[in-house]
Structure formats: structure tokens, C-alpha cells
Amino acid sequence: MKRIRKISRNIKKQCMGMMLGAILALSGCGSGAIQEPTEVVSEETTEAEQESVQVMELELPDNRVDDNNRMYYEVFVYSFADSDGDGIGDLKGLTERLDYIEDLGCNGIWLMPVNASTTYHKYDVTDYYAIDPEYGTLEDFQAFLKECEERHIKVIMDLVVNHSSSKHPWFTEAAEYLRALSPEQEPDLTECPYVDYYHFVKGEADLSGYVKLEGSDYYYEAQFWDGMPDLNLGSEALRTELEKVMSYWLDMGVGGFRLDAVKEYYTGHPDESVEVISWIVDYCKSVKEDAYIVGEAWDSQNAIEHYYESGIDSLFNFPFAQSDGIIAKSIRSAGDGKAGRALAEDIVDYHTMIRDINEQASDAPFLSNHDVGRASGFLGPDLEKVKFGNAVNILMGGNAFLYYGEELGMVGSVKGAPGKDENKRAPMYWNDNGDDGMTAGPPDMDEVVHRFESYEQQKEDNESIYHYIRNIIRIRNAYPQIGRGIETVAQEIEDGDIVALWKEYDGESVLLLMNNSDQEKAVSIPERDGRKLELGAGLGISGEELTVEDGTLTLTPFGVAVLK
């Protein structure tokens, strides 16, 4: 096991090591022939070392379209990459690592909050127009956007409008005004319009989630923490202000927003929350037609279905994610003869639900994020299951999201503090030395013990999680049907251990097969519309060869194949 400790703030910045290719896979040939290895050698690599860095490149075309169907990489800037040696990740460090994200195959980045804030997590915004000084300057952010634009990487920002910081000038001015009122006086919005920006209640408040405003007779709503007072999104004055905020960032080049905590816009009143989402979506689209808006509605499928009525592009797929989600449960039942087929049916049903409400909307699947445990925790220590869980997430369709470090199998909890927020946001595991951009992590983070190697080591290992996920993304990028296609369960594949999905897009279909078992499977290759299918791409969990002989595909344990 490898350890990441809280390291000192005087980390020396060094150059990033070379980034190498991908593990074994198959090209589009009916015979199942294997691509010859492509040798990639650094200029600094000696002749004796060349054999150790020979890697197998996945030879597939890049058929991505520059639109809103993307592979997103979620970044917590604080822990990602440090450019100035203070132990805190920053925008310059992130910009320096864009080649890494691009090479991974991601063409979208979700930035967790980067606005000015008082905390490490930065969900308590003090200035919606400013970049937090710990992360850099506005010029750094603009330089980052420019580099992303050149790489055709779409950037979406966390838009935190359910609440602000209690240190935000809107709240401090409203609080000061209310404290100065006599018991008989009522607030006058012409004197202090900011009172209307929040939910203030006079007298004893028996409402859940309300906090006493010290020095006054008032209470204010704060569903998460007294340092994050809830905004009154029914205020027209506030909406006008927030429209200016959204325009500011969209005009600068941001491609859209991730909406934090949408079901808490009006806690316990989903219809009102849906109306707020609709307002945000409509306004953003009026400013930038191709703005992508994805919302966090941490709830059941029935509740999420209701939020899709807002017209939003995507909502994060919580029913399939995290330790108790459909993906993890299916993999824990691997080999039972039915979990693979059931997972395929669940995917089809969920995506049909979305399309029935809004044909233009798409799913936003994820396996883990900053609020839940990482996959190596709830699927590990079994390396095969960690890999396969990520493959299902990336290939199931829609706009897939990958939390930074998942491609390395990073852990997000430690013994004795499994749910601690800081531990889920540990430093990106670049290396074991604590240099070359490594951060110190959040101030109260515990020691985190990783199950798998650092990027520096995994990049040299064909069987690493890094190379596996990199190649799964390449398969996704080669076949637009995977992310965009309308799915049906492939009834021709009778083995219940196999996740078998037809995916059709733009008049063309592919058959996606994912073996949810630790046993080898022989699959008789079916026809489609009277035409024979051929192997388009295949990936064994540990680099095994996939073979086709006499019309039969041998699908390795937890193997993945695309037939075209």
C-alpha cells in the first residue's frame, strides 16, 4: 500500500513526468487480430530502459463531436496540482496538467467551486465575481479557459446559489440592518434590499433548518450550516443579481454550470425548486445557446424524474452511483446468472424515463464524487471490480463523469473516519515523493492509505487502473453510439451475467457487451438487420486477448467488447 500524508507547505515544484499510452485492446477487425504495440520512449530514457516503457496503444479513431455529449473530469482544485509550492492546488497547476486530462480522453471539466470563499471546500461563496485567492487570479482563470478552448475541452463551473456565505456582503449588510431595528420596526426593503435575498423570520422559529441571528429577534434559514445561509430564490431582485453573475462567467467563456443542491432551493417543496431550475436553464440558454446545465438532486429516481421536468440538460444519476447504487450492487452480485441482464434492463429503463420527459436531455452517470466514498473503497480491494465498475459508468451512456483520482483507484476514507469530508478530497496521487505538483490536501485531512500505486508508477504498468480507464474512455470516444445512443436490451444474448445493450445513434448500431462475472464467456455473435457483426473493440480486465473464432467471441472475465 502507498501512503499520502499531510505534507509540508514548502513543496518544491518540479517538472511533470512523461505520460504514456494505453493497455491492450483490439481494433475494428472481424478476425480479432491484435494491434502491434507502439513503442513510446522518452528522450531521457536509456536504451536499457526502453523495454520497460513499451506500452500497448489502443488504435481506435477519435469520433467525438464538439457538442454537449462529453466525458467530464471532476476537479477539486485545492487538491489537484500545486504550481507555487504552498501545498494548495491552484489554477496554474491545473492548467499545467491539462495535457494529462486531455490524454486521458476527457473533453469536459467540472470545476468544483472556485469563487472567493472562507473554507477549503469553497461552497460558501463570499464573492460570485471573484476567483478565490488561494487558487490564483482572474487572469489565471482566463488563461485556463483559453487553454481548454484550444483543446476543445468544455468547462462547467459549480454555481452555488442555494446559499451564500454568512460573510457575503449581502448577508452581513442584511444582518447589520436587522440588528439595528427596534422590536416594533419591520424591515424596509428600500432601506436594505438584501433582507429579501435571504429567508429571515422574526420571533421564535420552529422551522427545521433555521438558525438564530445573534443580536436580533430574527432567525434565518441555513439547511446545511449556519455559515451558509439559504438564499431566497423567489426574490426578483436576487434573481436579477444572479443573472448578472451567470452572464459574467458565460460571457467569459465558461461552457455551463453544475447546479449545487437543487432540491434544497425550496427544501421540501420540489415544485418550487423545479421552477427555479427552469429559470436558470432558460436564462443560461438565452445567453449561450449551447450552455450545458447539470444539476445535483441527491434523491430517488422518482424525485429525479420530477426535476427533469424543469428542462435541464442533465441530472446526476444518484440511483446508479455510490456504494449502495445499482452499479455497485450489480457487481457485488457478479456471476449470479442474472445481475448482468438486470443491469442492462435498469439502464434502458432509466434512460427511457429521461427521454420520455425531455428528448434533448441526457443522463449524467458517475460512480463516485466529492460527497461519497470512492470506488476503490466500496468495490475494492478487488482490482477487477474497481476497473469494471468504472467501465460500466463510462460506457452506460450520457455525459459520464469521472472524479479526479478514480483513474488511479484513489481511496476516499480511512479507518476510524470513513465519512470525513476532507478525506474524500485527498491530494491527487501524482507520486510518492510529495513533489512535482503534489498538494498537502485539506487542513484537517487524515492520513490516507491508498490501495493502488501512484500515477508515476501506474503509467508504466499496462495492467494498471490508469491505463484501463484511459482505454475504456477511448472506446467510448470511438463509438458515438455509446454516449448518445438509444439503448435496447440485446435479447439475443441469453447469458444473464452479460450486460448486453444495443445502442443506436444516427442510423447506426453497435452491440456493447460487458461480462459481469469472473468466468470466461463464449458468445455467439448475432446478426443485425441481416448483416454480420464484427469485433470493433475489446478490452480484457488485465490486458487479456479477446478472440473471435468461427463466429464466437470469447469474452474474458469482466471483459468488455463492442461489436459493430
| Contact criterion met (CB below 8 Å) for 467 and 23 | yes
Q: Is residue 341 part of a domain?
A: no
Q: Is 398 left (phi over 0), alpha (psi -120 to 50) or beta?
A: left
Please determine, for residue 11, whether its predicted confidence score (pLDDT) is greater than 80: no
Instruction: State which of 459, 478, 497 marks the end of a domain.
Output: 478
Q: Is residue 503 part of a domain?
A: no
Task: Say if residue 319 is in the same domain as residue 173.
Answer: no
Task: Say if residue 180 is in the same domain as residue 281.
Answer: no
User: Rounded to whole angstroms, how far apart are CA atoms 188 and 326?
Assistant: 51
Task: Say if residue 206 is in the same domain as residue 285.
Answer: no
Domain count of the chain?
2
Question: CB 271: neighbour CB atoms within 10 A?
Answer: 9
The stretch 504-521 carries a mean pLDDT of: 96
| Contact criterion met (CB below 8 Å) for 292 and 339 | no
Band of pLDDT at residue 56, cut at 50, 70 and 90:
low
DSSP assignment letter at 402: E
Residue whose C-alpha cell reads 514548502 in the numeric block = 10
Nine-digit cell string for 51:
523495454
Please determine, for residue 25, whether its predicted confidence score (pLDDT) is greater than 70: no
pLDDT digits over 362-397, tens only? Answer: 999 999 999 999 999 999 899 999 999 999 999 999
What's the N-to-C CA distance of the chain in angstroms? 41
Whichever domain contains 396, its CATH number is 3.20.20.80
The stretch 145-165 carries a mean pLDDT of: 98
| Contact criterion met (CB below 8 Å) for 296 and 312 | no
Question: CB 183: neighbour CB atoms within 10 A?
Answer: 7
Query: What pLDDT score does 57 carry?
Result: 64
User: Rounded to whole angstroms, how far apart are CA atoms 409 and 448?
Assistant: 13
Higher-pLDDT residue of 294, 4: 294
Please determine, for residue 552, whether its predicted confidence score (pLDDT) is greater than 60: yes
User: Rounded to whole angstroms, how far apart are CA atoms 229 and 166?
Assistant: 6
The stretch 296-321 carries a mean pLDDT of: 96
Nearest CA among 203, 200, 223, 219 for reference residue 211:
219
What would the 3-class secondary structure string for 190-222 be?
CCCHHHHHECEEECCCCCCCEEECCCCCEEEEC
| Contact criterion met (CB below 8 Å) for 547 and 555 | no
Band of pLDDT at residue 413, cut at 50, 70 and 90:
confident
Query: What pLDDT score does 160 carry?
Result: 98
Q: Is residue 504 part of a domain?
A: no
Which sign, positive or negative, has the C-alpha torsion 309, 314, 318, 320?
positive
Band of pLDDT at residue 528, cut at 50, 70 and 90:
confident
Which sign, positive or negative, has the C-alpha torsion 93, 94, 98, 101?
positive
DSSP assignment letter at 153: -
User: Rounded to whole angstroms, how far apart are CA atoms 159 and 242?
Assistant: 10
Percent of the chain scoring above 70 in pLDDT: 88
The stretch 169-192 carries a mean pLDDT of: 96
**Residue 104: CB partners within 8 Å, gap ≥ 6?**
73, 407, 469, 470, 473
Query: 457-485 as b/e, with b when 16 or more CB fall inside 10 Å?
Result: bbbbbbbbbbbbbbbbbbbbbbbbbbbbb
| Contact criterion met (CB below 8 Å) for 112 and 122 | yes
Question: CB 66: neighbour CB atoms within 10 A?
Answer: 10
Task: Say if residue 239 is in the same domain as residue 378.
Answer: yes
User: Rounded to whole angstroms, how far apart are CA atoms 416 and 446?
Assistant: 10
Percent of the chain scoring above 90 in pLDDT: 82
User: Rounded to whole angstroms, how far apart are CA atoms 153 and 155?
Assistant: 6
Higher-pLDDT residue of 51, 22: 51
Question: CB 103: neighbour CB atoms within 10 A?
Answer: 13
Strands (DSSP E) contained in 311-450 are 314-315, 400-403, 448-450
Contacts of 294-298 with CB under 8 Å at 24 or more apart are 294/110, 294/156, 294/256, 294/257, 294/258, 294/259, 294/364, 294/399, 295/258, 295/259, 295/262, 296/258, 296/259, 296/260, 296/261, 296/262, 297/262, 297/263, 298/261, 298/263, 298/371
Instruction: State which of 462, 478, 494 marks the end of a domain.
Output: 478
Please determine, for residue 53, whether its predicted confidence score (pLDDT) is greater than 60: no
Query: What pLDDT score does 434 carry?
Result: 86
Domain residues for 465? Answer: 2-24+70-162+235-323+360-478
| Contact criterion met (CB below 8 Å) for 211 and 226 | yes
Predicted structure pTM score? 0.90
User: Rounded to whole angstroms, how far apart are CA atoms 431 and 15?
Assistant: 12
User: Rounded to whole angstroms, how far apart are CA atoms 117 and 11?
Assistant: 24
**Residue 202: CB partners within 8 Å, gap ≥ 6?**
217, 218, 219
**Residue 176: CB partners within 8 Å, gap ≥ 6?**
none
Task: Say if residue 275 is in the same domain as residue 365.
Answer: yes
Task: Say if residue 431 is in the same domain as residue 386.
Answer: yes
Query: What pLDDT score does 416 carry?
Result: 61
Question: What is the amino acid identity at position 245?
Answer: V
Task: Say if residue 74 is in the same domain as residue 215.
Answer: no
Task: Say if residue 192 is in the same domain as residue 309.
Answer: no
Task: Say if residue 154 is in the same domain as residue 183.
Answer: no
Catalytic positions, please?
A: 260, 296
Task: Say if residue 239 is in the same domain as residue 134.
Answer: yes
Query: What pLDDT score does 13 carry?
Result: 30
Distances in whole angstroms, Cα of residue 553 to Cα of each of 276, 489, 495 = 50, 18, 13
Q: Is residue 45 part of a domain?
A: no
- Kindly report the average pLDDT of the chain as a whole number: 89
Please determine, for residue 219, whether its predicted confidence score (pLDDT) is greater than 50: yes
The stretch 323-331 carries a mean pLDDT of: 97
How much of the chain is helix, strand and coil, in % rounded to 5? 30, 20, 50
Task: Say if residue 283 is in the same domain as residue 404.
Answer: yes
pLDDT digits over 415-450, tens only? Answer: 666 689 999 999 999 999 988 899 999 999 998 889
Query: What pLDDT score does 417 carry?
Result: 66
Query: What pLDDT score does 500 carry?
Result: 98
Instruction: State which of 478, 495, 530 marks the end of a domain.
Output: 478
Q: Is residue 76 part of a domain?
A: yes
Question: What is the amino acid identity at position 485?
Answer: G
Task: Tell me the backbone φ, ψ of residue 285, rounded to 5 degrees.
Answer: -70, -30
Q: Is residue 99 part of a domain?
A: yes
Q: Is residue 278 part of a domain?
A: yes
Query: What pLDDT score does 59 carry?
Result: 84
| Contact criterion met (CB below 8 Å) for 135 and 83 | no
| Contact criterion met (CB below 8 Å) for 482 and 512 | yes
Task: Say if residue 404 is in the same domain as residue 467.
Answer: yes
| Contact criterion met (CB below 8 Å) for 25 and 474 | yes
Residue 504, helix vs strand vs coil = strand
What would the 3-class secondary structure string for 300-335 be?
CHHHHHHHHHHCCCEEECHHHCCCCCHHHHHHHCCC
Please determine, for residue 222, whether its predicted confidence score (pLDDT) is greater than 80: yes
Q: Is residue 291 part of a domain?
A: yes
